Every structure is written in C-alpha cells, then in structure tokens.
Structure 1
Amino acid sequence: MSDRDIQLYFDARLAEIDARDTDALQTYQTLFKSHGDSAALADRLFDNAIRIGNMDAAVRAARAQELQGAATGAVPMLLFADALKRRQWNDAENAATLLEEKSNFGFAAPILRSWTNIARGKAHRFKIDDAREQALLNYYSTDQRAYFELAEGKLDRAKIMLEGFIGMDDDFARDLLIRAAPIYAAKGDQKFASFIIEKAVERRNSDSLTGPKQSQSDANFSAEQGFAALNTRLAASLVEQNVPDQGLILARVAVWLDPASDAAKRTLARALQATGSPALARGTWAMIPESSPYWTRAVGEQVRHYSDEGNYTTALKLAQNAVERRPDSASLILLAAQAQERLGDFKSASKAYERLVDDADQAGVPPTQMALYLLFYATALDKNGRWTEAKSFLDKARNLDPNNPYILNYLGYSLLERGENLETALSYVKQAHMLEPDSAAIVDSLGWGYYLNGQYEQAVIHLEKAVQQSGNDLTINEHMGDAYWKAGRRVDARYAWKTAKHLAKDEDAARLAEKINIGLPLTRR
C-alpha cells in the first residue's frame, strides 16, 4: 500500500472505534477496489459490512476470503444465501461443500442441499442416516423438516409434524408455528391455524395470524424463508452460547433472505447488542411493529438491556409506555413491576403484582404460573415491610408449586433471616438445593442456614461453593466472612469481608469496615 492508502486504512479503523461505521465502510470499499487481494482488508470490510448490514459489500469480501482460502465459520452460509438468491446452483453446491470442509457448521450441509432442491422445484430428499452420529444435524433439522414440507406445499404431512411443536418452550418452535399458521389460514383451514397458534402468542396477535383475511402471499413459503429460519435459530443459539460474532453473521443472512421476518430481526437485535452495537440494536428492535407477535418480546429485551446498563428510569418508562398500549399483557405488566422494584418503588411494584395475580386468577392460568406471580408479589410486599402478608402469599405459592426451588429458597431464607421456625426454614432451603444444586443464591441460603443453626463447618463448605459460583456478590462474601470467623478462621474472614466491602456502599460499607476492624460481636451477628 502507498502511504496514502495506509493512512486511509488507519482512518477507517479509527472510524470503527468511534462507531462511525458508514464512514469506515466507505473507506474500506475504496481501498478494496485496488487491494482486493489483501486478507486483512477483506476481513475488515466483511466485519464492518456485516455490522451495518451492507450485504453486497459483505458478499464481495466473503468471495475474496473464499479465494484466499479463509472462508471459515459462518461465511459459507452467506455465500450459499447469495447463490440461492441468484439461482446459481453450482455456486450453491460449492458453498455447501465449502461449509463441510472449512466450517464448524458443516453438519448443516444436507439442509443447504435440500433447500437447493426445493428452490429448483424438486423434492428436498433430506434424510438422516444415523441420528446418534449426526446429533447436531438431527437437533437443528427438527423444525427444518416441517419447513421443507411447507415449502413443497405438502400441508397434510406438515400438519403431523407441527402438532409436535405445540406447547414447546423454545423460540424456534414458536417461530415455526407463527410462520405456519397464516399459511393454513390462507388456505381456508382456520381451525388448524388457531389450534397451532393458541399457546404460541397472545390472543390479540393470534387473530391477525389466523383470520380469514390472510392474503395469497401468506400461503406461499420459499426456500429463502426456510433457510432464513435455519440461520435465525443458529444465530440465537450462538448468542446464548456467547459466540455473538458468528451469530451476527447468521442473523444478518436471515434478515437479508427474509426481510419481513420479525423473528430474524429480533435475533439480529440481540446479536448486535451482544457485539457492542447498542444503537444498531435499538434501531433493529424499532423495526418490529406493535402488531407483530414479537413486539412484546422485543420490548422486554430492550427493558432488560437498559436495566443491565443501570438505566432503570429509561427501562421503567419503556415498560410503562408498552403497558399503556397493551394494558391486558401480563408479560408487560410484569416487566413494569420489575423495573419499579429496581428503582426501589416497592409500593408501586406491589400494586402491579397484585393486579397481575388478580388477572391471572380470573384467567385461570396454570398453577405453576400463578405460583410465580405470587412469588413476585410476595417479594415486593416483603421489601415494602409487609412480611406477614408476604409470608401468606409465599405459602400459597408453595402449595401451588411445591417443587419450585426459588419459592422454597425465598421462603426458607426469609424465615432464617427473621429467626422464625429455623428447622422448617432450613428444610425448605435443603429441598431447594436438591432441586437446583447449581444456584449460587440457593447454596448461599443453605450455608447461611447452617450458620444460623450453629453448624459452622457445614456453613463454610457450602458458602465456599457459593462464592466460587457467584464471584463478586456482596451478601455471599459477607456470609462467607461471618462463617469463617465463627469457625475460627479469622484471617480468611477478614479477606472475605474485604472482598465484600469493595462491592458495598453506605451502610453496608460501614458495617463491613467495623467487622474488618473488630470482628463479629458476641451475638450471632
């Protein structure tokens, strides 16, 4: 490169750092015209194009990576999508082969070839020879097999498959039912459309998906849409597994192939958020209309995003605005109540949870769901200084769902803290630990229960495990210090209290400072 080109390259890198993605992309494209053989430049162009959604530039960079033998990861999926859109079947087969040879997504190659067959008007011919040896293919093709039948117009065969996804608590299962329902409604089978969508979305959305006004376009399902669904599912899995960079590529491919898919947009927003592009994520969430069955979930993800940033006021405002639009949405009422709790407004949160419980009682929700609502209500009441009422609701929740570890833990820990019925309280926490042994909060409760019962060695064993699981948690580290002190390990106690003090403020910090200086008083606290 000339000195001028090197300067342009560094200008582009600085633009990326400053989140001026459009400026960076323009500069990379300018450089790429005369330096198309640069592997570093192809990588930068690809990453930037994917981030802002310029798929033409991303494809050019991906082809350069292919020529350089560097098209790994999710890149072959993009190349296949491009070939599918252009109806270039040789390129599609080359991309599928590249996926097998160079990518950890190679297991999906049979799915790609099946979509090629469908796009060419042929039978999909998908099969799995050995489900155990092809476990990943078997897992990620569960919904794809139903999509194959929908795309081929074999609705009777698809019906049999779709019934198996009803009630599944997985996004990919709901996505399939949401996509299939309008197809059957458009074909005049509103009864089956309503049957499969009933538990997948809120009532107000189900009517728009299954009513008699579905257009003829709703009856069609393309290979592009089916492959987009695969990319959406894989992208969501990668984001959950903390591999968001590859997930972002697949999510971009999904939206590119099926720009009307709100499922793909929601996954793209999550991937953008996870890769450090919050502004782009918010813009993508905003593309999901209020009429969409994905709108409520998109609002929830934005509220959680602001809460994670510590911006509780914005989170609450967003949740309350959503409740005003949909006052009958239990999930939105729950979001608003949780946001009020984070701001310390336990009185308002209690009222919101009370409404949630009353509405759920009238609607006749399942006992396990009602138990959760009662737990939330009791928690807010407890924090609002109304323990007697809170305990009565916790008892009701435990009766409705006696094997819920979080209800058992909250009830048990609350009783332990108040010195009420310690033996029963410890039995609740022990049961919670048996049901959820990997929860740091529950292990902490168990350790603290042993501490309050004077079993300090047992307390240390469990609290050390809780510290390992939780990392930087103020309460758990303070409990650890208290247990060490009572067990005679004074140096370890002060170390644990110092760790907790680094996380503490105001009264908590003052209390921990006193413990570090003089240790525990003669009383149990």
Structure 2
Amino acid sequence: MAPAAALPIAAAAARVASRIAKDWAKAVTTRLIPLALIALTATLPLRPVVAAPLLAQAQGQEQPAVRPAHRPAAPAEIHGLAGPYMAARMAAIQNDYRSAADYYLQALAQNDTDGYLQDSALVALISAGEMERATALALTMSDQGRATELAKLVQRTELARAGRWDDLIKAIDAAPSPEDAGDMPGGGALVDGMMRAWALLGAGKAGESLSAFKKLATLRGAAPMVNYHLALAKAKVGDFEGAEELLADPTTGAHILGVVARAQVLSQLERDKDAVAMLDATPGVAEEPHLLALRDRLAKGQTLPFDSIRTPADGIAQVFLTFGSVLASTDEPDPLALIHVRLAEYLAPDMGEAHLLAAQLLQGFGQFDLAEREFEKLRELGDMRPIAELARIDALTRAERLDDAEKAALALTATHPELAQGWIALGDLLRQQDKFAQAVPAYDKALSLIGDKAPEARWFPLYARGIALERAGKFPQAESDFRAALKIRPDSPQVLNYLGYSLVDRNEKLDEALKLIQRAVELRPDDGYILDSLAWAYFRLGRYDEAVAPMERAVAAMAGDSLVNDHMGDIYWMAGRQREAEIQWHRALSLKPDKDEDARRIRAKLEHGLDAVLEQEKSNGGRLPEPAPEPAKAD
C-alpha cells in the first residue's frame, strides 16, 4: 500500500505529472543510475583487489564504536571485496539503507574504481539520508571521471545549496542532449529545466527565469506542474497578480503547498476575505492545524508575508518534492521517490512536507527507525500536524514499539481532542494490545465527535468498538454496534463475518449466522478466515459433511494457523474421519496455540477423543474441567 503523498496534486495534474515523472524514472533507471536497481540482482564481476585510500570524506572521520542492534555487523570471517558486497546486496534487498551504504563503502575500500559499487553506495547513502557522505562520494566519482547522472544530480543539488547559480546553470547547459531534446537547455530533461529556471532567478536574471518556465510549460503534459513553479517565481519577484492567476487554476494549485502559497499571495494583494473563503472551501482544512492558523491570522486582518519560497533553492527543493510525491503515489512506491525527497530535504531542511513524505516512504519500505527520525525532525520544527502524528503512531506500532505508540496516541488526543481520527488510532492501539475495555471509551469519543451527519465515517469505529466490546465480554452491546455498522455498509464482509462467527461461537441464532457468513463468502470467496467461519457454522448446525469442503479450503489458505487446523480436526472427527482428525490436532499443537487453554483442549482431544471432551464440557458449564493437581512428592 502506497504511503499518502505529502504533496497531493489535483487529479488532472496528477495524471500528466505521473506520466512525466515515470518517464523520468525510466530514464534514471536505464540511463541515469543503472545500478540503482540492477545491483540487487546482477552478479558483480570481481576484479583484482587494489589497495586505495578511497573515500575518507565519504566514509566519515568518526565511526560508531558499537553498531545499533538493528544494523547487522559484517561477520568477522568476511575479507576482501566479496563479503562486503554480498552483505550490501542483502541489506539493499531488505531496504536497510544504512547497512547497505556501510557495506558498499567497505567494498569500495578494496576497489575504489568500480562504477557499480560507487553508484550503489550513492543510492544507499542518499536513501539513508546521509547527504554529506553522498556528496563527498559524488565528488570522488566526478574527480575520477566516472560520475553517473545521479552523481551529477547530487553535485547540482550541492551547487544550489551553496547558491552557486552561475555554476549550476553551466553544469546543466553542459549536459548532453538526448535525441528528442530539441533546443531545450540541459538536454531537455524536465527536472534539469526547472532547476535551471530557478537558478536563473538566483543569478538575478528574473526575466530569463520566467521565460524559461513558460517554455517548459509548453512541453506536453507539463503545464500543471511547471505553472505552479512559475507562480512561485512570479510571487518571489513581486508579481502577485500573475501568481494568483496561475494558482487559482485547480490543476496548478490544488495541493497543500499551493493552498498555502495562494493564501499568502491573496494576502499580499489585500484580499484577506478571499483567502479565508478559499481556505474554508479547501477539503480537509479542519484536520490541518497550520492551515487553520493561517485562516485565523487572515481573519484578524494580519497581512501574511510571502515566504513559501524564500530562496531559489527552496524552489528546486519543491521540484524534487513534486517528483517524489508523484513517484510515491502508486500502489508500489518507486524507490526513486525517496531519492527525490531526500534531495528536497537536503536543500530545504525545514520543509515539513518533505520530512513527512520521507517518513511515509520509509514506513512503506519497513524502515521504521529511519521514519521515526523524520517524525522527530517534524517535532523539532514545531510541525506537529495530526497527519504526521497518525503516520508516526502507525510506524511505531508496526515497529512493535507499542508503549511509544500508545504515548504518542495519548499525546495526540490531548493536543487535538477534537480530532476523531486520533481517538480511533488510540482505540485501535489499545485493542491491538488486548486492552479491550480501555479501547471502548476511545471509540465512544470518536463516534461522539463524528456525530450523525457523516454516517459513512461512523462505519469503522462502530465495527472496531463492536470487536472491543465482544472481546470484553459485552456481546449484546457489540451485536448492536455490528448491526449499526451493517446498516451503513450492508455488504461489508468483515462485519458480516465477525457478527456471524460471534453468533456461531455463542451457539445463538445459527440460521441467521449462517446467512451472514454465506454472504461474506460470496463477497470474499478466497478469504481463509471467512471460509473457517462458514465451516464452523455448518459444524454448529450438525451439517458435518457440508463443513468439510470450506474448512479444507480455509486450511489451504491458512496452513500456519493453529485455530484453523484445530477446527479442521473437529470437523473431520464428526464426519467420521478420526485418523485425519488426529493428524490435524497434532499439527495445530505444533503451531503453538495462542492460549494455554486451547493447547490443553487439543491434548485432551488427542487423548480421549472429541466426543469425550464435549461431554466433559457439557457437564462443566461449557469449559473443560481443570486438571487435578499433582500429588505432592514425599520427601
């Protein structure tokens, strides 16, 4: 699942921007940084090992004495080039960017002229956010006359960071032109062209800069993206009327940075009322405290300064962020999205959107510790927006840092008690820790905040509260929540299954329960949990032969689930297939049931058979009698 982009682009602009960004990504993958992806699968041709004093800067003068526990150290027996290279490849496959960078640099210490190793190390360093070492490596590659396009891009970024605008323009103009570049400067690449336009502004050539942006906007499909930057450039030189004309177009300015820039432009034009109306009409503004703060200042008659772009370097940072956002907006985020976002962070360290998108991408790649560093930077900037905190809570939860996640959720609900999503996140976190009774009040608060005016928004907290109530032993209230959720979404397979299975497990309303589960199976015919519920409903109704087929499908889908295998054993037993039942119970035991009570029940079935266990439970209020205590041993 793709992380939510920090810089969403209006729908029409997104389609064209996506095509342009993907074309750029294809060029980067095949022409610009060939090793970025190839190194993960290619076999490195091993060359003679040469001693070389390489990358003193890139490796850094200070190395940690002890590696953090999550970064595997190179085994002591690894020597030469092969070991570090293979360790680097494995780390890269696992998206462990910091370890990959260290190992690639170890390999480069053995062979400092291998272009594959250099480019791989550069990709890993940038992905890890270690931009100073990445810049040093890019310089080394350039000094050796083997700079890749990624290395050149890093060098251009460094020129922008240093404000060396004339040098940046020369570097872009010197780039070789592809066959289809025409007369576009810098080889016609859109990123290069936009960087060059901002560099012209930095060099004091405002007229040439605006003309360059306008020329770029004529490229097929590029106008929405380029016109946003043209609007920023116009506002930077004081042409607020021209900037407003561009930003008023939804395909140009209908994203969070565009909304902020337009509010500032309108304020500079003494149109504060229009700015307030624009913010009020912006979807989701109530969940963005910094937009609400802008609105409050405008409502009080304060004139907002135009500081969306303070320097041309900020403009180039937004170029990288735009491309990173588009590349991140697919089901499987392109790894190059993180490269672009890291370059944006390097140029504009206080750009909250860049840190947020980096955090979301790192979450998606499973690098939760690196993601937490980005959230920490947001907190240092005083940018504690709810969307960032919700993403942080998710990252901490997935990193199994549940105590920290719970503290973050409690802090969010304390800071923004009006935010229903914060209470839902807290309830989910408590429920995940089996704190079911504590989760219920969190969902209560969320539902009271949502009210009755947004029924669709009530569906999930009703369903989640129902689960918490059922697990807390309050089934009548849980059943009420499940049925309320079904009124909102009658064809929700999750709710149909949960309510149906709960009724089956309680041996209540079995005919209705079967219909609920059958409908869930129609909606999700391959879901192992739902198939298990269907089989168990048949079991409870005494229709054992009918239960076999769905249960076997459930086991095939969830072979490693102890409970499903246990159910399969019970069904086989009642269908007269005792030997197969015993095999399934043995398998269920080997998969280590979650509860000791479940394991004890399986062992009892293996020793005495299911019939005997059911009889014992019937005479003991539905539970297996506790085992008799072992007699004390005589001294």
State the TM-score, normalized to the length of structure 1. 0.74
- What is the number of equivalent residue pairs in this alignment? 495
Structure 1 residues 375-427: Cα deviation after superposition (integer angstroms, max 9, x where no partner): 22222211111111221222222223323333333222222222222232233
Q: Equivalent residue for 1:233? A: 325
Q: Say if 1:145 and 1:422 are closer, same or farther in 2 by CA, change over 3 A.
A: farther
421, 427, 431: which one pairs with 2:519? Answer: 431
Q: 2:371 matched to 1:281?
A: yes
Matches within 5 A, 1:44-83: 45-46=121-122, 49-50=125-126, 52-62=128-138, 71=148, 78=154, 81=157
161, 166, 180: which one pairs with 2:250? Answer: 161
407, 413, 416: which one pairs with 1:326? Answer: 416
Matches within 5 A, 1:265-344: 265-272=355-362, 278-289=368-379, 295-344=385-434
Matches within 5 A, 1:115-514: 115-116=194-195, 118-119=197-198, 120-121=209-210, 122=212, 123=214, 125-126=216-217, 144=225, 147-148=228-229, 150-151=231-232, 153=234, 154-162=243-251, 184=266, 188=271, 189-202=274-287, 204-210=289-295, 211-212=297-298, 213=302, 214-218=304-308, 223-234=315-326, 236-237=328-329, 241=332, 246-272=336-362, 278-289=368-379, 295-361=385-451, 364-436=452-524, 439-454=527-542, 459-467=547-555, 469=557, 472-486=560-574, 493-494=581-582, 496-501=584-589, 502-505=591-594, 506-514=596-604
Q: Say if 1:65 and 1:437 are closer, same or farther in 2 by CA, change over 3 A.
A: farther
Conserved 8 A contact 2:469-2:475: yes
Q: Equivalent residue for 1:37? A: 113
Conserved 8 A contact 2:232-2:309: no
Conserved 8 A contact 2:528-2:558: yes
Q: Say if 1:365 and 1:441 are closer, same or farther in 2 by CA, change over 3 A.
A: farther
Conserved 8 A contact 2:118-2:141: yes
Work out the CA distance in 2 between the residues paired with 1:184 and 1:463.
64
Structure 1 residues 306-364: Cα deviation after superposition (integer angstroms, max 9, x where no partner): 33344433322232133222222222222222222233322221122222222222xx4
Work out the CA distance in 1 between the residues paired with 2:139 and 2:526.
45
Q: Which letter maps to 2:405?
A: A
State the TM-score, normalized to the length of structure 2. 0.63
Work out the CA distance in 1 between the residues paired with 2:409 and 2:151.
37
Work out the CA distance in 1 between the residues paired with 2:258 and 2:531.
38
Q: Say if 1:316 and 1:158 are closer, same or farther in 2 by CA, change over 3 A.
A: same
Structure 1 residues 32-88: Cα deviation after superposition (integer angstroms, max 9, x where no partner): 79965244652574256325533243144346668887958x778656755766553
- Percent of pairs with identical residues: 22
Work out the CA distance in 2 between the residues paired with 1:149 and 1:489.
75
Work out the CA distance in 1 between the residues paired with 2:154 and 2:351.
17
Q: Say if 1:345 and 1:17 are closer, same or farther in 2 by CA, change over 3 A.
A: closer
Q: Which letter maps to 2:130?
A: N
Q: Which letter maps to 2:228?
A: Y
Larger RCO of the pair (alpha carbons < 8 Å, separation 6+): 2
Q: Which letter maps to 2:318?
A: G
Work out the CA distance in 2 between the residues paired with 1:490 and 1:69.
71
Structure 1 residues 227-278: Cα deviation after superposition (integer angstroms, max 9, x where no partner): 232343256457x63776x554333123123323222212323444566654
Q: Which letter maps to 2:436?
A: F
Conserved 8 A contact 2:195-2:316: no
Structure 1 residues 430-486: Cα deviation after superposition (integer angstroms, max 9, x where no partner): 333444556544444344444444555664544455455556444344334444555
Work out the CA distance in 2 between the residues paired with 1:163 and 1:407.
41
Structure 2: which 5+ runs fail to align?
1-48, 74-96, 182-187, 199-208, 235-242, 618-635
Q: Say if 1:35 and 1:289 are closer, same or farther in 2 by CA, change over 3 A.
A: same
- Bigger Rg, which one: 2
Q: Equivalent residue for 1:132? A: none
Displacement of 1:194 in angstroms is 0.9
Aligned-partner SS, 1:344: coil
Conserved 8 A contact 2:51-2:110: no
Aligned-partner SS, 2:417: coil
Work out the CA distance in 1 between the residues paired with 2:341 and 2:245.
30
Structure 1 residues 475-513: Cα deviation after superposition (integer angstroms, max 9, x where no partner): 344334444555556566555544543242422222333
Structure 1 residues 153-211: Cα deviation after superposition (integer angstroms, max 9, x where no partner): 5533443325996xxxxxxx667656665555555341353145342551644312444
Displacement of 1:225 in angstroms is 3.8
Q: Say if 1:68 and 1:195 are closer, same or farther in 2 by CA, change over 3 A.
A: farther
Conserved 8 A contact 2:317-2:345: no
Aligned-partner SS, 1:259: coil
Conserved 8 A contact 1:371-1:401: yes
Moved more, 366-375 or 440-449: 440-449
Q: Equivalent residue for 2:27? A: none
